[in-house]
A and B are shown apart, each in its own frame.
Chain A
Amino acid sequence: MKLNGAQILIDCLKSEGVKHIFGYPGGAVLHIYDALNVCTVIDHILVRHEQGAVHAADGYARTSGKCGVALVTSGPGLTNAVTGIATAFTDSIPMVVVSGQVPSPVIGSDAFQEVDAVGITRSCVKHNFLVKNADDIAETVKKAFYIATTGRPGPVLIDITKDATIAETEYEGYPKTIKMRSYQPEVQVDAEQIKKAIAIIEKAKKPIIYSGGGSVIGNASKALTTLTHNTGFPITQTLMGLGAFPATDKQSLGMLGMHGTYESNMAMHDSDCIITVGARFDDRITGNLEKFCPYAKIIHIDIDPSTIGKVVGVDVSIIGQVNDVLQALIQSLDTKKLENIDSWWKQINDWRSVDSMAYRTKQGVIKPQTVIEALYEVTKGEAIVTSDVGQHQMWAAQYYPFDKPRRWINSGGLGTMGFGLPAAMGAKLADPDRDVACVTGDGSIQMMLQELSTMLQYHTPVKIININNGYLGMVRQWQEFFYEKRYAMSYMDALPDFVKLAESYGHIGIRVEKEADLKPALIEAFKQKDRTVFIDILTDPTENVFPMIPSGAGHHEMLLAGRDEMASTNDSGLNLV
């Protein structure tokens, strides 16, 4: 069958089972859009900015577990997409981004809307391709999806020149299989390593499971829960891992790291055996490496061999799909051989009784923590919550206990402000029957505001919870603690009237200024099943995120709200910022 390159591309995407593409047209992709226009099985979501397209595809992928797809034009279309691609890369999200490129004869001539897309994205994709020939499109698309979704997932860019989309060629259908001699993501779990790990686990008197984003992305929630229940071990989860193990289970110690719970961090510090599951010892988790887990033997389970020993030396590494490794551990582990850890639990419960998540309410102001607790109550803990980046992100992670994976969608690794709103749109398209809340702040929301327009056009009703404190709160907090309260450029003067703004985009706007109005407003908002509601909540502008490990400190040196004066950080700590 003779087809042009654009038609081949669309047929390939169809054959991959793609249902939604987030994109924005332009000169270099006009042929692709022409072919997409007559395709009835793929819905195209016309965003208002290419960064929004990639974040939406990302939110879609995180919610559904499928590969997200975005389509952008050459030049500025691609450069606008880069932040989104880097966000997905850092959090290992499966995604294929197709970008247009100028015609191949003019590549390198500084043509209109030309950038070196492959060069610009090289360090923030799992792989990328430049396709200059229609004959290569089908195989490249097959490779792109294969690479993006297997092994440690990540974004793959396909840059296609305009002439390749126009040229007609014989198309023999989408390849069924693909083989690449240089990429073999299937890994057999090494039984020897399982044995070594079990030998450590059996001797552990103070064990802890430390689980990360790999447990969510690797669909290992069930196995993780079984292992945790079988062993009776305490478990702590990273920001990216929340929900893989139910937060309301009594074995869950909550999040660890910079703004984790006291019990999580103290247990990590004192532990003699850490079972690391799909986590990568990020600096927000470890704090000062010299003080990190001084007594523990560390077992590290990961699909990516390069994460082993990258930051922290480990005693046993087990390479493989997290789910496969956990299954192997569950099968090989004789729980009768485990040490009695009653005294360890007693110690942990003592730390728990410190109640590190307690916060002081104040008459006349709404505390941001109260907002998240009310959101949890109103949605019965069943919503998908996306967030932007900053204080509100931490409060959402701390005060909304996630019991299921793929319900908490945030930019953990790159920390991309502007992620939350388009991600919520993608999440809603992936799971249309579920309530989706976007927890954001007055700073973050203004980075991707324009997507309110897309959300009206494509009918993706979400509830925007704007923690409005007038500040770039996390910046303000650090300035208060570490820069002697010199609040350099962290105050947002001249905020828009968010209620009118939402209304002008065709949505509902509600402002909440008193705590008494908070819950009724949320209830009212979530009743509006078919509408996007922007709930602008004026919260305490001086509130800080606690508990906190100041940069440069160890896990056992946490600061607790209202109990500790924040000491200024030392020089090595400032370097860690």
Chain B
Amino acid sequence: MRHIISVMLENEAGALSRVAGLFSARGFNIESLTVAATNDPTLSRMTIVSVGDDNIIEQIVKQLEKLIDVVKVIDLTATEHVERELLLVKIDVNPNTQADIDRQIDQFSGKIIDVSEDTYLIEVAGQSKKINEFLDSLDASKILEVSRTGVTGVCQKREG
């Protein structure tokens, strides 16, 4: 099952590689990983999407908690939470396809953030599922470049 694990860790050099190294050393899989500082400059928040059965996810959480730099680990998928991902995609457009593409962008609440003579640069934010669907709705042969941020998320209740 897909899990979103949120990790609060000391904002120190090397902390990211400790987490990444743990996943490769123990053979855990990472679908995506995002990391940035939080409102507390001494803390970073890392959001990891991983796939595994309950035992594996339990091990991942415990092994993360064991890292000295890690302050807190939350399996977001175990609580009510919000997840978002940002997509930037560059595609070929021409007068024949433009109207269709504009409609699709609208439908997915995307934004055209740059236009050239024959390309669009589009931004779409939302759950990964939505982003997958948006990409699927495009003509694959017209996609020039895709960049996704990976998932970030928070739990909905006041105390995370």
- What residue of chain A has the Cβ atom nearest to residue B9's Cβ? A182
Choose one: A118, A180, A306; the contact of B62 (CB below 8 Å).
Answer: A306
- What residue of chain A has the Cβ atom nearest to residue B70's Cβ? A182
Contact stretch, chosen from A48-56, A121-129, A374-382? A121-129
A109-133 vs B, CB cutoff 8 Å, 1 = contact: the mask equals 0000000001100110011001000
| Cβ contacts under 8 Å, B13 to chain A | 130
Choose one: B25, B62, B69; the contact of A182 (CB below 8 Å).
Answer: B69
CB pairs A–B below 8 angstroms (21 shown): A118-B14, A123-B21, A123-B22, A127-B68, A130-B13, A147-B68, A180-B68, A182-B69, A182-B70, A183-B68, A304-B66, A305-B65, A305-B66, A306-B59, A306-B65, A308-B62, A309-B55, A309-B58, A309-B59, A310-B59, A313-B55
* Contacting pair B21 A122 (CB below 8 A): yes
| Cβ contacts under 8 Å, B14 to chain A | 118, 122, 130
B11-31 vs A, CB cutoff 8 Å, 1 = contact: the mask equals 001100110011001000000
| Residue tally, chain B, CB below 8 Å to A | 20
| Cβ contacts under 8 Å, B68 to chain A | 126-127, 147, 180, 182-183
The total of Cβ contacts below 8 Å across the A-B interface reads 39
B63 an interface residue at 8 Å Cβ cutoff? yes
- What residue of chain B has the Cβ atom nearest to residue A310's Cβ? B59
Across chains A and B, which 7 residue pairs bring their CB atoms closest together, nearest first? Answer: A306-B62, A127-B68, A182-B71, A123-B25, A183-B68, A122-B21, A305-B62
A181 an interface residue at 8 Å Cβ cutoff? yes
Chain A 277-314 residues near chain B, CB threshold 8 A: 304-306, 308-310, 313
- What is the bound-complex CA distance between A131 and B104, given in angstroms? 53
Taking Cβ atoms with an 8 Å cutoff, the residues of B that contact A are: 9-10, 13-14, 17-18, 21-22, 25, 55, 58-59, 62-63, 65-66, 68-71
Chain A 145-199 residues near chain B, CB threshold 8 A: 147, 180-183
- What is the bound-complex CA distance between A201 and B71, given in angstroms? 36
- What residue of chain B has the Cβ atom nearest to residue A119's Cβ? B17
- What is the bound-complex CA distance between A190 and B55, given in angstroms? 22
| Residue tally, chain A, CB below 8 Å to B | 19
- What is the bound-complex CA distance between A262 and B109, given in angstroms? 69
| Cβ contacts under 8 Å, B18 to chain A | 122
- What is the bound-complex CA distance between A309 and B13, given in angstroms? 32
- What residue of chain A has the Cβ atom nearest to residue B10's Cβ? A182
Chain B min CB distance to A281 (Å): 13
* Contacting pair B63 A306 (CB below 8 A): yes
Instruction: Given A181-B71, A182-B71, A306-B59, answer yes or no on A122-B66 (Cβ-Cβ < 8 Å).
Output: no
- What is the bound-complex CA distance between A127 and B69, given in angstroms? 9
| Cβ contacts under 8 Å, B22 to chain A | 123
- What residue of chain A has the Cβ atom nearest to residue B20's Cβ? A122
| Cβ contacts under 8 Å, A126 to chain B | 68
- What residue of chain A has the Cβ atom nearest to residue B63's Cβ? A306
Chain B min CB distance to A38 (Å): 33
- What is the bound-complex CA distance between A127 and B67, given in angstroms? 8
Chain B min CB distance to A289 (Å): 13
* Contacting pair A306 B71 (CB below 8 A): no
- What is the bound-complex CA distance between A181 and B40, given in angstroms? 14
| Cβ contacts under 8 Å, B70 to chain A | 182
| Cβ contacts under 8 Å, A123 to chain B | 21-22, 25
- What is the bound-complex CA distance between A309 and B61, given in angstroms? 12
Choose one: B10, B17, B21, B66; the contact of A306 (CB below 8 Å).
Answer: B66
Chain A min CB distance to B39 (Å): 16
- What is the bound-complex CA distance between A304 and B65, given in angstroms? 10
| Cβ contacts under 8 Å, A130 to chain B | 13-14
- What is the bound-complex CA distance between A205 and B43, given in angstroms? 52
Chain B min CB distance to A530 (Å): 44
Chain B min CB distance to A235 (Å): 28
- What is the bound-complex CA distance between A182 and B72, given in angstroms? 8
| Cβ contacts under 8 Å, A147 to chain B | 68
- What residue of chain A has the Cβ atom nearest to residue B62's Cβ? A306
- What is the bound-complex CA distance between A123 and B23, given in angstroms? 11
* Contacting pair A122 B65 (CB below 8 A): no
Chain B min CB distance to A290 (Å): 15
- What is the bound-complex CA distance between A305 and B22, given in angstroms? 16
| Cβ contacts under 8 Å, A308 to chain B | 62
- What is the bound-complex CA distance between A310 and B62, given in angstroms? 10
Chain B min CB distance to A93 (Å): 17
- What is the bound-complex CA distance between A20 and B58, given in angstroms? 41
| Cβ contacts under 8 Å, B17 to chain A | 119, 122
- What residue of chain B has the Cβ atom nearest to residue A304's Cβ? B66
| Cβ contacts under 8 Å, B65 to chain A | 305-306
